[in-house]
Homo-oligomer: A and B are copies of this chain.
Amino acid sequence: MRSFLFGCFVFLFAGSLAAQSDSVFIRKIADEIFHNSTAYSNLYTLTKTIGQRLSGSPSTYTSEKWAQEVVKKAGADNVYLQKATIPHWVRGGKDQAVLITGKNRQSLEVIALGNSVSTPTGGLTAPMILIKDFDELERRKDEIKGKIVFYNHPFNVDFVWTFQAYSEAVPYRVFGASRAAKYGAVGTVVRSMSESTDNFPHTGAMIYNDSFPKIPTLAVGLQDADKMVAAVTSKSDLKESQAGLSLFISTNAQALPDTIGYNVIGEWRGSEFPDQYITVGGHLDSWDPAEGAHDDGAGCVQSIEVLRALKATGYKPKHTIRVVLFTDEENGGRGAKAYSAEAKTKNEKHIFALESDGGGFTPRGFSFKGTESQIASVKHWLPLLVPYGVTEFNSGRAGADVEPLNEATGAMASELIPDSQRYFDIHHSAGDVFEKVNKRELELGAINMAALIYLTDKYGL
A388 proximity list for chain B (CB < 8 A): 160
Name the B residues within 8 Å of A11 (CB-CB).
7-8
Nearest CB in chain B to that of A383: its residue: B5
CB <8 Å contact, A158 and B30: yes
Segment from A71-79, A144-152, A334-342, A438-446 that makes contact with B: A438-446
Copies in the complex: 2
Task: Determine if A163 is an interface residue (Cβ-Cβ < 8 Å).
Answer: no
Is A391 on the interface with B (CB-CB < 8 A)? yes
Total chain A interface residues with beta-carbon distance under 8 A: 34
Q: For the complex, is A34 an interface residue (Cβ under 8 Å from B)?
A: yes
Q: A440 to B162: give the CA distance in the assembly, Å.
A: 10
Residues B160 and A389 in contact, CB atoms below 8 Å apart: yes
Report chain B residues within 8 Å CB of A197: 40, 439
Do residues A421 and B392 form an inter-chain contact, with CB atoms below 8 A?
no
A425 interface residue (CB < 8 Å to B)? yes
**In the complex, what residue of chain B is closest to A35 when comparing beta carbons?**
B157
Q: Which residues of A contact B (CB under 8 A)?
A: 5-8, 10-11, 30-31, 34-35, 40, 157-158, 160, 162, 195, 197, 362, 364, 386-389, 391-392, 419, 421-422, 425, 438-441, 444
Q: Could you list 15 A-B pairs, sorted by A, with CB under 8 Å?
A: A5-B6, A5-B10, A6-B391, A7-B8, A8-B8, A31-B158, A34-B158, A40-B197, A362-B419, A364-B389, A391-B392, A419-B419, A421-B438, A421-B440, A425-B438
A5-B386, A419-B419 known; 19 new pairs, CB 8 Å cut-off, are: A5-B10, A5-B391, A6-B6, A6-B7, A7-B10, A8-B8, A8-B11, A30-B158, A30-B160, A35-B158, A160-B387, A160-B388, A160-B444, A195-B440, A391-B391, A421-B438, A422-B438, A422-B440, A425-B438
